Chains A and B, each alone.
Chain A
Amino acid sequence: MKFGVVRFPGSCDEVDAVLACEQQGEAEILWHGDRDLKGVDAVVVPGGFSYGDYLRVGAIAQFSPVMESVAEFARDGGPVLGICNGFQVLCEAGLLPGALLPNTELRFLCRQVDVEVVNAGTPFTSVCEQGQVLSIPVKHTTGRYYAPDDTLAEMEAAGQVVFRYVESWNPNGSVRDIAGVSNRAGNVVGLMPHPEHAVDPLTGSADGACLFASAAARAVAA
């Protein structure tokens, strides 16, 4: 099992993402200017401030050479996980529905939150229990998930809401407490909380490891 972790200018969570992946298999950095995905089995688009978050969060990164290859990989059914800024990039690229807006309180938030696994059927939640609650941190300024009502209705019906903040834990005003979503096919998943920062009890929680373990279990099964 080999994970690829994208590095943009301005990424800052790719090292933790690599460490989280290496608990489950191999991991390689994929540079934003390269088109070669190096034969990886899954791609992680990590957090940070890609291209300085200029214009809008994730807006510039969607056009980088590596993202063209990631989009093709995703279209062919390859598992892609976007975390925080990576989630924003995947939404801007149209690989995931919706958009991320500034937090209701306009402040940068950094705190541990409880997140429920709403759909345990994706490549990044398959070893989780349906309804399992994960304690993982959020740290962002632009994390308020938004999609129009008709889109949300379709997403809920198709099981595309993958993670939800547990009641009273919604930190940013996200619509319907949504913390993470998938595309229609289910192979592309994005979330604002940071599972890669919660893979060792030493740092408070290892609950995030199950996302990477799920991807590894899928690769073994295939």
Chain B
Amino acid sequence: MRARVLIRPKEGILDPQGQAVERALPALGFDGVANVHVGRLVEFDVVDASQVPEMCERLLANPLIEDYEVLTVE
């Protein structure tokens, strides 16, 4: 099975990467962009998909500062 985990900065924690991108887009003429956040995507093949949340808790994300979402397991 293919697991896809989306990891993003927890809401309320300052995300300077998102802010930098948010400032850069209007500079290129793309207006009307707000609330930009930068996270990361981890994709992998896995035999037992029920283990994915624990993998996120223990390694793929740091639950203190990041939220994760298991997007698709197909």
Q: Which A residues fall within an 8 A CB radius of B?
A: 55-56, 59, 63, 92, 98-99, 101-106, 144, 146-148, 173
Contact = CB atoms under 8 A, between A and B. Distances in A.
Q: Is the interface of A mostly helix, strand, loop or mixed?
A: loop
Given A106-B20, A148-B64, A55 B59 contact: yes
B60 interface: yes
A56 to B, nearest CB: 6
B16 A146 contact: no
B17 A106 contact: yes
Contacts of B13: 101, 146
Given A99-B65, A146-B65, A106 B16 contact: yes
B70 to A, nearest CB: 17
B62 A102 contact: no
Contacts of B60: 55
Nearest to A97: B64
Contacts of A99: 62, 64-65
A92 B60 CA distance: 12
A104 B16 contact: yes
A102 B40 CA distance: 14
A147 B10 CA distance: 12
Contacts of A55: 59-60
A147 B16 CA distance: 17
Contact of A173 (B14, B17, B62): B14
Contacts of B14: 101, 104, 144, 173
B43 to A, nearest CB: 13
Q: Which 5 A-B pairs have the closest CB atoms?
A: A99-B65, A106-B16, A99-B64, A104-B16, A99-B62
Nearest to B65: A99
Given A59-B62, A101-B13, 9 more contacts: A55-B59, A55-B60, A63-B59, A101-B65, A103-B16, A104-B16, A105-B16, A144-B14, A173-B14
